Amino acid sequence: MGKLDGRVVVITGAARGQGEQEARLFAAEGARVVLGDVLDEQGAALAAELGPDAARYVRLDVTREEDWQAAVGAAKDAFGKIDGLVANAGILRFNELVSTPLEEFQQVVQVNQTGCFLGIRTVAPEIAAAGGGTIVNTASYTGLTGMAGVGAYAASKHAVLGLTRVAALELAAKKIRVNAVCPGAVDTPMTNPAGLAPGADPEESRRAVDGLYRKLVPMGRIGRPEEIARLALFLSCEDSSYITGQPFVIDGGWLAGVGLS
């Protein structure tokens, strides 16, 4: 018996990183998963690997209402219902606030904040119609504190926590629990500095990142996406049946304060 037997869960940003690990874990725990992303080749390959009885891939730009409607239609056509959502899709940009172009700020907000809103608005009625279920939003360590250089990202993740709390209040009567995971630094393509600085040596970048987080994080390392997936699983199954409206920090102790070096 899996923890998610009989469940149908939509996961956004599912082609790689945290979303991929969530899809793999949820499928292993008995869920049928609908993988939403804009990385078509990777998303389709993952769905094929998991198999047609367990997974479907759908192109989902979370900023587009029509894509959300299409994803809902694909999920219901394939599996008959939806009773879970993991709103994982997000983007990260590094810039000082006074140097951030308006277009860049709006892009981050559109994906991280508006995408989360559209997910709740579109999928919650389907979850209610299925008799209840769960929504897990991906916020961030920076949704609970500040971090220089990521103003647009931090602002959007603070907003995700606000949406999570309001949705939890409004949807509780419909038997929908809404919570948020708040990761610190996690080893995914989104946070890899080699990807953010074209031309950088990947190994040199990796050593720099490892050295940075050995200093900043009490546990002395960057997080792994499968660790975030396990928290998302907890919030999506009956193990968390009396929890809603809460942010769950998973950051190796980073938010706790400054440790001894």
Per-residue pLDDT of the chain (261 residues; tens, 9 = 90+): 899 999 999 999 999 999 999 999 999 999 999 999 999 999 999 999 999 999 999 999 999 999 999 999 999 999 999 999 999 999 999 999 999 999 999 999 999 999 999 999 999 999 999 999 999 999 999 999 999 999 999 999 999 999 999 999 999 999 999 999 999 989 888 766 544 445 666 677 667 767 777 788 999 889 999 999 999 999 999 999 999 999 999 999 999 987 666
**DSSP annotation of 9:** E
User: Angle between the 151-171 and 102-109 helix axes, to the nearest 10 degrees?
Assistant: 30
Q: Which residues are CB-contacts of 255 (< 8 A; sequence separation ≥ 6)?
A: 141, 144, 145, 184, 249
Q: How far apart are CA 253 and CA 218, in angstroms?
A: 5
What does the longest C-alpha to C-alpha distance in the chain come to? 55
For the chain, the domains span 8-186+223-252
> Which residue type occupies 59?
R
pLDDT of residue 1: 86
pLDDT of residue 248: 98
Q: Does 213 participate in catalysis according to the annotation?
A: no
pLDDT of residue 22: 98
57, 141, 153, 213: the active-site residue: 153
pLDDT of residue 254: 93
The model's pTM is: 0.93
CATH superfamily of 8-186+223-252: NAD(P)-binding Rossmann-like Domain (3.40.50.720)
pLDDT of residue 194: 47
